[in-house]
Amino acid sequence: MTDITSADPMVLTAAPPRREIGIKRRYAAERRFRLYGILAISFGVIFLLLLLWSVVSKGYTAFLQTEITVPVTFTEKVIDPQNTRATNPAVLMAANYPVLARDALAKELGVDPADRAALKEVNSMISASVRVQLRDIVVNDPSVIGKTVPVKVLAEGNVDAAYKGHIDLSVPESDRKISDRQLGWIQQLAAKGELASRFNTGLFVNGASSRPEAAGVGVALIGSFFMMLIVLALALPIGVAASIYLEEFAPKNRLTDLIEVNINNLAAVPSIVYGLLGLAVFINFAGLPRSASLVGGLVLTLMTLPTIIIATRAALKAVPPSIRAAALGLGASKMQTIFHHVLPLAMPGILTGTIIGLAHALGETAPLLLIGMVAFVADFPATPLQPSTALPVQIYMWANEAERAFVERTSGAIIILLLFLLAMNIGAVILRRRFERRW
Amino acid sequence: MSGSVVLLCVLAIGIVAFLLGRLRANALAGPKLSNLHSRPVYYGGFVAIWATLPALLLLAFWSITAPSVIQSSVRGSFPAEVLAAPQAEQNLEFGMITSIARGMKLLSPADAETLAGDAATVRTLLSAKGVPLAGDPKPYMLPAADELNRLTDRSNWLMTGAAVLAALGGLVYALRAIQPKLRARNRVERVVLGALLGASSIAILTTIGIVASMLGEATHFFSMVPAHEFFFGTVWDPRFAAAGSGGSEGQFGLIPLLAGTLYIGFVAMLFAVPIGLFSAIYMAEYASPRVRAFAKPLLEILAGIPTIVYGFFALTTVGPFLRDISAQISGLVTGDYANFIQAQSVITAGFVMGIMLIPYVSSLSDDIITAVPRALRDGSLGLGATRSETVKRVILPAALPGIVGALLMTASRAVGETMIVVLAAGVAARMQLNPFEPMTTVTVKIVNQLTGDLEFTSPQTLVAFALGITLFALTLCLNIYALYIVRKYREQYE
Amino acid sequence: MNMLTETAVEKVLERKMTNSALKMSGTDVCVFYGEKQALHNVNLNIRENTVTALIGPSGCGKSTFLRTLNRMNDTIDSCRVTGKILLDTDDIYDPNIDVVELRARVGMVFQKPNPFPKSIYENIAYGPRIHGLARTRAEFDEIVESSLQRAGLWNEVKDRLQEPGTGLSGGQQQRLCIARAVAVSPEVILMDEPCSALDPIATAKVEELIHELRANFTIVIVTHSMQQAARVSQRTAMFHMGYLVEENDTDKMFTNPDDQRTQDYIMGRFG
């Protein structure tokens, strides 16, 4: 193509004098406005980081636990002074095991067995959970009595905190939870390698405990797992079925309108109201047990349904009509068209919505408080009908505990919860990226 | 036989029915499948539906009606003096009988012999089996419990028999009905359609469940405490009465709770609205795609964090920080290092809730701002307006209804939020205006009244349902109005 | 303005055209959307107090060129412009030139009428208000009235100035948008197919309006319709496939074009 140069004889003249339209002032306003936007976003992002930092900095040490390795002598005189265990096994259950651990540690530290004050301080370095720990060793294998076995016992919460450096040593000794002498012992044991931090598996497998060092989210994890299973098993099929009906079959009438309005409103009902519903209907009316993860699962199912339905309908809507037309044109029934073609194509979107709904349900606390999941449960539930608790509820209970060591546990549990949520959301994003189709 | 075993039986019959139906269809079709109206699986499904559906309906009907039939029969044989007692007392008596009946099933035959003895031994014997009784059983209760067990057993056997019969009957009927011309697919599809409709009506059932259950319990409450004392009372002091003392003497004034809810919600909106709105405007009008792709998900993370985490953040970080900083400030100003902000206060809860609400405000407003047609933007820019003038004078006015709707939705979230206020707002039901003091909310009180031991007859417990229905009504109104506004707004630009 | 008789208008224009200078001039203008080049080395002059029509088949780049004249392309992220466009003697793509000031001098009317969802009065007052062209209520009233007068809309809407502009008919809305542009007193008005969404009667009114506005403004109009270009313009530029094919007096263009492609297009061979 040839360029055409305008063969115009005329010329440009200088511009007329500028009008004053307040450019400077207006651009200052423009910059200010823009700045507000940047400030607003930074504010949000900064608080997100602050929140995460506050949780992580408080909680990462919860994944380590201080343990003391001591050679415990299972003295018969302490465990079974009358030697009646053959006839009365209950003796082994009730024996004074903490004394064994205390004496073992005192010997290790070279403390005079007659110094009662020192013995008391030694005793307070070992977690009270040692009773159960030693008892289980003896009950499982009574032949251990009379022998000396090295045992890893949990350090008491304050020792744990001191070893991790959480305790302010500039405070006068009398106001501190740990004495100078105990600090000395800690160093002594640490130097010998008998006191050390290890990865805290107890945090993941233990149940509730009044001692922070022995408390874990094990029961809560099982409870949350049961609930998620129930939500998945109920909410996904019901939600998909409901969406298919509303999107593909529902006639335009009052009933359909009513259902639509209902779903939109249910999505916005405060979660605590679902707790009231669960309490009144599932527990009071239907007589299901309190604190059971079955009830929690049912409540969360009702709460998650609207989310899943809304996501599923969007996914179904995104499948182009040409697919439907093609299948119908081959003589497939409407039902066949939907189940053979439309639904599989919409599946990535449906699953993404479901995962996000599940993630919300996993973090939900308020309704579970009302159906009695605020419970001290130390034993693992075997079925969804047994009492259990849930991860966020466990966090709530620990947050209400006064002890400093529980703040660390709480933050640790929050980290676990956030990691689960992160994993679920990443899963959803991957699903969307991989299978998202653009029509 | 327990219900779940019967259920499994029926389902097993259903599977057999499916296989038989398909087999028969194949046999009928002979070499050419097109002889059949539908594909063989549909015949299988047809037979399976006939085998299971009537049986399941029967099971459901039976297990719902049978207990009440049995109960009324057992109650009919109560001694006259018990029948004369008020209904509530009779309920308690029957509750004890069911406990005894449950316990008797756990006893060995030898123990059952001794059970005929006096009431006290019955109680110790049963509690040894893990069935505690609330009081000493009366003499008439043992035979009644026996009767209850007998009737329940018989009902269970009958139910099992009837269900299995129904399943087999349906199977046989459907098998005989199979013919090549039978429109099996249409019939199966009709049932599936019914199931789909059923699934979608769960939404309505849930709403009915919420309203009915809460209204039911709340009416209970209002029969003990007059409604006007609840709705217009200015003092909240429920006095946890010991069980059985029947203390309805507490004061259940809603006003202080409502005041706290609205105040904290207002403070939260004060933080969330400007920040959320400016974020949304920046994202929609200024941000380059790269900034947007980075900042938007970050803000959305805020929406994904569970509220319990916000509550913990408020409790352990924000609250103590505000308390300490206020002590420092008053120390600098007056020399007296007394904190004037409490760790649990309206401002703590409101501020943290505000952070939680930022993503709601920003993503809802973002949607609404981007829905303003490009032509309006171009029109304004074409006249020489700057970006901010366009936003302030054209886009925001045009988007205003939608944004108001979005803010109403956010406000309803603030009103219904629980965990942050439970941990950060305090429990003192007070009416005051100082944002640095604790106040409490409707949701906090629902949680307070319902954690711990419950007694479904005391106003202290039931008031939670009255609070719940108030909360439900409040958020429902906000949402319906908001949805209405937003829908109007969208129609304007479609 | 509509007080002037037809012949008076012609006289004024006659005088202006003879000693009129160029108002705008583009030299080697290229426009890219991302990787794709939408305009290739366009050289085009726009004369003062003249209606210049840009014609050509769809996708030929005529609207793109129009939008470069007041930098509306800036609102599209991936758009890049090279070459030189002068307004009087100012290079409008010079970093020192302010886009807001530029658009106050070069106004624009869009394809679809886009009144703001405000009252008729506020629609007109918007431009003067943001640019601070009026201070008092009386000044605003005057600008609103004169702008509506010029757009020939005054008699139709003078009794309902406070009603929403979106309530007018399509043709009235478009004239409102023209009045809105006029209220800022720009030097050039760009019109992007201003009649494509209007019915024939409304189109006739807008065309008449363009004709009258020519006395005070320089007008560049993109149009799909050959007849419209012939009716309203004095100069015509023909675009094809992103190239400027021919630029000429409208009369010459429609009777005896220099370029084969122009001839084909005007005869209706493609488009």
Cross-chain Cβ contact A10/C45 below 8 Å: yes
Cross-chain Cβ contact A5/C43 below 8 Å: yes
Residue pairs between chains A and C whose CB atoms are closer than 8 Å: 68
To the nearest whole angstrom, how far is the Cα of C129 from the nearest Cα of chain B? 10
Residue A2 falls inside a structural domain: no
Give me B194's structure tokens.
């019914």
Give me A206's structure tokens.
């233990």
**Chain B residues within 8 A of A241 when measuring between CB atoms:** 195-196, 198-200
Strand order in the sheet with A195-199: A148-154, A64-73, A195-199
**Chain C residues within 8 A of B373 when measuring between CB atoms:** 114
Predicted TM-score of the model (pTM): 0.83
Most confident of A262-276, B35-49, B104-118: A262-276
In eight-state DSSP terms, residue B394 is I
Rg over CA atoms, chain B: 32
Indicate the helix (H) or strand (E) that contains A424.
helix A404-435
**Chain C residues within 8 A of B386 when measuring between CB atoms:** 100, 130
Rounded to whole angstroms, the Cα distance separating B22 from B20 reads: 5
**Amino acid A232: pLDDT:** 94
Residue A11 falls inside a structural domain: no
**Amino acid A137: pLDDT:** 84
Residue type, A69: T
* Domain segments of chain C as ranges: 21-114+186-266
Least confident of A129-133, B79-83, B476-480: B79-83
How many Cα atoms sit within 13 Å of C25 on the Cβ side? 19
Least confident of A84-98, A224-238, B264-278: A84-98
Question: Using 50, 70 and 90 to split pLDDT, how confident is the model at B468?
Answer: very high
- Which of C54, C91, C101, C234 best probes binding to A when mutated, by most A CB atoms within 10 angstroms? C101
Residue of B nearest to C77 (CA): B288
How many Cβ atoms are within 10 Å of A184's Cβ, its own excluded?
Answer: 11
What residues 181-200 of chain C have any CB closer than 8 A to a CB of chain B? 181, 184
Residue of C nearest to B393 (CA): C126
Report pLDDT digits (tens) over A350-364: 999 999 999 999 999
Q: Tell whether B176 is within 8 A of chain C (Cβ).
A: no
Indicate the helix (H) or strand (E) that contains C27.
strand C22-33
**b/e sequence C64-79, b meaning 16+ C-beta within 10 Å:** bbbbbbbbbbbeeeeb
**Amino acid B132: pLDDT:** 67
- Residue whose C-alpha is closest to residue C179's, from C208, C149, C222: C149
In eight-state DSSP terms, residue B96 is H
Cross-chain Cβ contact B383/C110 below 8 Å: no
**Amino acid B420: pLDDT:** 94
**Chain B residues within 8 A of C72 when measuring between CB atoms:** 378, 381-382
- Measured CA to CA in angstroms, residue A378 lies from A207, A386, C42, C151, C215 at distances of 4, 12, 81, 83, 91
A245/A192 same-domain check:
no
**Amino acid A5: pLDDT:** 46
**Chain C residues within 8 A of B393 when measuring between CB atoms:** 126, 130
- Pair A141, A174: CB distance under 8 Å: no
**Amino acid B1: pLDDT:** 46
What residues 369-408 of chain B have any CB closer than 8 A to a CB of chain C? 373, 375-386, 389, 393-394, 397-398
User: Residue C29 pairs with which residues in a beta bridge?
Assistant: C42
To the nearest whole angstrom, how far is the Cα of A438 from the nearest Cα of chain C? 21
- Which of A50, A217, A269, A288 best probes binding to B when mutated, by most B CB atoms within 10 angstroms? A269
- Pair C257, C56: CB distance under 8 Å: no
- Pair C247, C237: CB distance under 8 Å: yes
Task: Please say if the pLDDT value at position A20 is more than 60.
Answer: yes
- Which of A1, A3, A6, A33 best probes binding to C when mutated, by most C CB atoms within 10 angstroms? A6
Rounded to whole angstroms, the Cα distance separating C241 from C239 reads: 7
Rounded to whole angstroms, the Cα distance separating B254 from B256 reads: 6
Q: Tell whether C29 is within 8 A of chain B (Cβ).
A: no
Cross-chain Cβ contact A51/B417 below 8 Å: no
**Chain C residues within 8 A of A31 when measuring between CB atoms:** none
Average pLDDT, chain B: 85
- Pair A66, A159: CB distance under 8 Å: yes
Q: Which of A39, A41, A273 sits opposite B468 (nearest CB)?
A: A273
Superfamily of domain C21-114+186-266: P-loop containing nucleotide triphosphate hydrolases (3.40.50.300)
- Pair B423, B347: CB distance under 8 Å: no
Taking residues A397-426, what's their average pLDDT? 89
Cross-chain Cβ contact A21/C133 below 8 Å: yes
Taking residues B138-163, what's their average pLDDT? 84
**Amino acid A171: pLDDT:** 79
**Amino acid C7: pLDDT:** 61
**What angle is formed at CA C173 by the lines to CA C169 and CA C174, rounded to 5 degrees?**
125
How many Cβ atoms are within 10 Å of A305's Cβ, its own excluded?
Answer: 25
Question: Which parts of chain C register pLDDT below 50?
Answer: 1-4, 18-19, 271
Most confident of A206-210, A389-393, B63-67, B104-108: A389-393
Report pLDDT digits (tens) over A218-229: 899 999 999 999
Task: Please say if the pLDDT value at position B249 is more than 70.
Answer: no
Q: Which of A47, A245, A374 sits opposite B200 (nearest CB)?
A: A245
A179/A286 same-domain check:
no
The parent domain of residue A273 ranges over 218-435
Rounded to whole angstroms, the Cα distance separating B273 from B354 reads: 8
β-strands C79-87, C22-33 pairing: antiparallel
**Amino acid B288: pLDDT:** 87
Residue of C nearest to A30 (CA): C100
Least confident of A265-279, B112-126, C227-241: B112-126
Cross-chain Cβ contact A6/C45 below 8 Å: yes
Q: Which of B373, B383, B492 sits opposite C126 (nearest CB)?
A: B383
In eight-state DSSP terms, residue B383 is T
**What angle is formed at CA B424 by the lines to CA B334 and CA A161, rounded to 5 degrees?**
90
Residue type, B210: I
**Amino acid A29: pLDDT:** 92
Q: Tell whether B483 is within 8 A of chain A (Cβ).
A: yes
Indicate the helix (H) or strand (E) that contains A38.
helix A23-59
Number of domains in chain A: 2
Question: Using 50, 70 and 90 to split pLDDT, how confident is the model at B240?
Answer: low
Cross-chain Cβ contact B385/C101 below 8 Å: no
Taking residues B412-427, what's their average pLDDT? 92
Cross-chain Cβ contact B203/A262 below 8 Å: yes
Q: Tell whether A288 is within 8 A of chain B (Cβ).
A: no
Task: Please say if the pLDDT value at position B42 is more than 50.
Answer: yes
Rounded to whole angstroms, the Cα distance separating C164 from C162 reads: 7
A167/A127 same-domain check:
yes
3-class state of residue C192 by DSSP? strand
- Pair A392, A368: CB distance under 8 Å: yes
Average pLDDT, chain A: 85
Helices (H) and strands (E) counted in chain C, each on its own, are: 11, 10
Question: Using 50, 70 and 90 to split pLDDT, how confident is the model at A14?
Answer: low
Residue A4 falls inside a structural domain: no
- Residue whose C-alpha is closest to residue B124's, from B112, B132, B114: B132
What residues 24-63 of chain C have any CB closer than 8 A to a CB of chain A? 25, 40-41, 43-45, 47
Give me C66's structure tokens.
């129009």
Report pLDDT digits (tens) over A127-180: 888 888 888 888 888 788 888 888 888 888 888 888 887 777 777 877 777 888
- Which of B362, B408, B409, B418 best probes binding to A when mutated, by most A CB atoms within 10 angstroms? B418
**b/e sequence A17-48, b meaning 16+ C-beta within 10 Å:** eeeebeeeebeeebeebbebbbbbbebbbebb
A181/A231 same-domain check:
no
Rounded to whole angstroms, the Cα distance separating A369 from A114 reads: 50
First to last CA, chain B: 61
What residues 142-161 of chain C have any CB closer than 8 A to a CB of chain B? none
A378/A426 same-domain check:
yes
Report pLDDT digits (tens) over B289-325: 888 888 888 888 899 999 999 999 999 999 999 999 9
Angle between helices A293-318 and A254-266 (to 10 degrees): 120
Residue A394 falls inside a structural domain: yes
A275/A410 same-domain check:
yes
Q: Which of A238, A277, A392 sits opposite B306 (nearest CB)?
A: A392
Structural domains for chain B: 3-210 (no CATH), 251-489 (1.10.3720.10)
Last residue of a domain, one of A166, A198, A230: A198
- Measured CA to CA in angstroms, residue A201 lies from A216, A218, A401, B482 at distances of 9, 10, 22, 49
Task: Please say if the pLDDT value at position A7 is more than 60.
Answer: no
Nearby residues of C18 by Cβ (< 8 Å), 6 or more positions away: none
For residue C111, the Cα-to-chain-centroid distance in whole angstroms is 10
Cross-chain Cβ contact A242/B199 below 8 Å: yes
What ipTM did this prediction achieve?
Answer: 0.88
Rounded to whole angstroms, the Cα distance separating B362 from C194 reads: 36
For residue A263, the domain's CATH number is 1.10.3720.10
Residue A275 main-chain phi, psi, to 5 deg? -60, -45
What residues 207-266 of chain C have any CB closer than 8 A to a CB of chain A? 241, 243-247
Question: Using 50, 70 and 90 to split pLDDT, how confident is the model at A212?
Answer: confident
Nearby residues of A376 by Cβ (< 8 Å), 6 or more positions away: A208
- Pair A363, A421: CB distance under 8 Å: yes
- Pair A259, A420: CB distance under 8 Å: no
Last residue of a domain, one of A131, A165, A198: A198
